[in-house]
Amino acid sequence: MSSYLKVSGTKVVNGDGKEVILRGAGLGGWMNMENFISGYPGCEFQIRTALAEVVGPIKSGFFFDKFLEYFFQEEDAKFFKSLGLNCIRLPFNYRHFEDDLNPRVLKEEGFNHLDRVIDLCAQQGIYTILDLHAAAGGQNTAWHCDAGTHIANFWLHKDFQDRTIWLWKEIAKHYANNKWIAGYNPLNEPTDPTHTAVIKFYDQVHDAIRSVDTEHVIFFDGNTFASDFSHFGDMHKKWQNTAYSIHDYSVYGFPASPEDYISSDEQRQRMKKSYERKREWMDQRGLCVWNGEWGPVYARRQYDGLATDAINERRYKVLKDQLAIYNQDRLSWSIWLYKDIGFQGMVYVSQETSYMVLLKDFLAKKHRLAVDAWGADTPQVQHIYQPLIDHLTEEIPQENQNLYPFPVWKLSDRVGRLSRSILVTEYLVKEWAEHFRGKSEAELDEIAKSFKFENCLRRDGLNKILMNNAHTRNSS
Residue positions annotated with a catalytic role: 189, 293
Cβ-contact 32, 44 below 8 angstroms: yes
Cβ-based neighbours of 464, under 8 Å, separated by 6 or more:
none
Could you tell me the sign of the dihedral formed by the alpha carbons of 41, 46, 48, 51, in that order?
A: negative
Q: Which residues of 32-54 are buried (b: 16+ CB within 10 A; e: fewer)?
A: bbbbbbbbbbbbbbbbbebbbeb
Nearest 5°: the CA angle 263, 265, 269 is: 100
420 secondary structure, DSSP code: I
**173 to 35, 204, 320: CA distances (angstroms):** 32, 16, 39
Largest CA distance in the chain: 63
Which among 297, 295, 294, 324 has a CA at the least distance from the CA of 312?
A: 297
The DSSP element (H or E) to which 25 belongs, if any, is strand 23-26
Which neighbouring-strand residues pair with 245? Answer: 221, 290
